[in-house]
Amino acid sequence: MSNTFQGKSKEDIQILISRLQADNNPVNTRRILGLLDFTSLNVTDTAATIEDICEKINNYQFVFPDLPCFAAICVYPRFVHVLKKRLAIPTVKIASVAGGFPSSQTTTSVKIAETREAIEAGADEIDMVMPPGEFIEGNKNYIRDEIASVKEIMGGKRLKIIIESGVLSDPELIYSASILAMESGADFIKTSTGKEKVSASPDAVYIMCHAIKNFYHASGKMIGIKPAGGIASTEDALSYYSLVETILGKEWLLPENFRIGASRLANILLSEVEGRNVDYF
């Protein structure tokens, strides 16, 4: 598959984005709540803090009865069993990072073992990093085999591959990494871990959406997209929503095909929708 962004610079992409008509309809703010992967990936996380999040999610429908609940909660593998035991909202998926998150600097066998453990503990979804160094070095067969090996043990569970777009930076690399992840078995492609200096950006999501569109036309497979990392304003969230709708279409605007990974964003969106300061999470 040819690289749509060959020879294009970040400035070229930003010009293309500026030509798109953004739809900042406030109704979309409510919809975004139902697309959130509420994330807790802190060095201070404990079973107690994850239980507290579960309790708030379980009570969410009573506190905010007219608002959609989140698509998933994303945690470290050692806390998946806590979510499985405590989470009482069946529509909220259990997501776990795995595979040596966030650096991906471990062996394929360890990545497989960690993924298997998370799945057996109750994870519905796995977020795993494509090793950026291996990709930049051109070791595509290594990456292809690794992703395929992880996907093979997951059954029907959803695999999200993080390309760490802020590290790749170059439009050609972001596009190529997106295609490689999808060809290798990713169900979603995700921008970032949120642990690097540069995380999600509109230009990266623009490129990734076009990669998904081209892959869909070539294969017929709808692959999801997940901007994540540093998204902390309603305006940011709406811009990503608008990009996905404009490039991929309304059929992508469902939790099966579109997520936004964030932690701080939940209270910000709730405050916007409720018209008051909300500090629930």
Catalytic pick among 127, 187, 203, 236: 127
Query: What does pTM read for this prediction?
Result: 0.96
**Do 163 and 140 form a contact (C-beta atoms < 8 A)?**
no
DSSP 3-state of 102: coil
Q: Are strands 72-75 and 36-39 parallel, antiparallel or unpaired?
A: parallel
Kindly state the tokens that stand for 32. Answer: 């975004």
Catalytic pick among 8, 93, 151, 190: 190
Query: Measured between alpha carbons, how far is 114 from 77 in angstroms, rounded to an integer?
Result: 7
Task: Please give the domain boundaries of the chain with CATH numbers for all domains.
Answer: 10-274 (3.20.20.70)
Per-position pLDDT tens, the chain of length 281: 789 999 999 899 999 898 887 667 778 999 999 999 999 999 999 999 999 999 999 999 999 999 999 999 999 999 999 999 999 999 999 999 999 999 999 999 999 999 999 999 999 999 999 999 999 999 999 999 999 999 999 999 999 999 999 999 899 999 999 999 999 999 999 999 999 999 999 999 999 999 999 999 999 999 999 999 999 999 999 999 999 999 999 999 999 999 999 989 999 999 999 999 999 99
Beta-bridge partners for 98? 128
Q: Is 213 a catalytic residue?
A: no
Beta-bridge partners for 225? 189, 258
Catalytic pick among 93, 111, 151, 226: 226
Name the CA dihedral angle for 78, 81, 82, 84, rounded to a multiple of 10 degrees.
Answer: 140
pLDDT tens digits for range 64-77 = 999 999 999 999 99
